[in-house]
Structure 1
């Protein structure tokens, strides 16, 4: 508890017994115990409230994340599912012929 071992605790109790006296020591120990109990309860309450809030945020994050993941998955599948038609080359049996040169009217003039 608080990084204090048994020998240190005994020294603290002996000093408290000498300073406070045997008549008031039980009363002070009782009030310290009550204070520690209240502190523990309030810390537990704060921890539970924090866990509730984080779980609410986690639920909202999942609600927002799921549609985004589905859209990303569909986009990824559509990209890799079909090859683009421009990459497919089809050639017919005949080769393309070159275009005829334009008529040059300067020679006739």
Structure 2
């Protein structure tokens, strides 16, 4: 049994090959196959180059972001004399209401 290729069964592939054979003739089929092979090779090469460039660029961006994070953490630690983890949040002084409690009616 032939496995499905792009949801095309073996019988459908044979019909497509027969139509191509009748339309182009036996002399043109090797030339067409060569042309399609070269085109497919160029597409694979282009996608590989694009993938490599994207990987390279994202790697550069990640390295720059990591360096920036390290410099910010270093500057915070040297300015306060503590590490950023020891530094209290400015929002810790503000007390937010507990939203889980039911609201009480105003007292008169």
TM-score (norm 2): 0.60
Which entry has the higher C-alpha Rg, 1 or 2? 1
Give the Cα–Cα distance (whole angstroms) in 1 for the partners of residues 87 and 43 of structure 2: 58
State the 1:65 CA deviation.
1.3
- Superposed CA RMSD in Å reads 2.6
2:83 corresponds in structure 1 to: 74
- The answer to whether the 8 Å contact 2:21/2:29 transfers is yes
Is structure 2 residue 51 aligned with structure 1 residue 42? no
1:3 corresponds in structure 2 to: 6
2:56 corresponds in structure 1 to: 52
Aligned residues: 79
- 5+ residue gaps in structure 2? 90-108
- In terms of fraction of residues, the more helix-rich structure is 1
Give the Cα–Cα distance (whole angstroms) in 2 for the partners of residues 11 and 69 of structure 1: 67
Moved more, 8-17 or 57-66: 8-17
- The answer to whether the 8 Å contact 2:73/2:84 transfers is no
Question: Cα distance 1:55–1:79, how it changes in 2: closer, same or farther (>3 A)?
Answer: same
Tell me: higher relative CO, structure 1 or 2? Use CA pairs within 8 A at least 6 residues apart: 1
State the 1:48 CA deviation.
0.5
Give the Cα–Cα distance (whole angstroms) in 1 for the partners of residues 84 and 63 of structure 2: 25
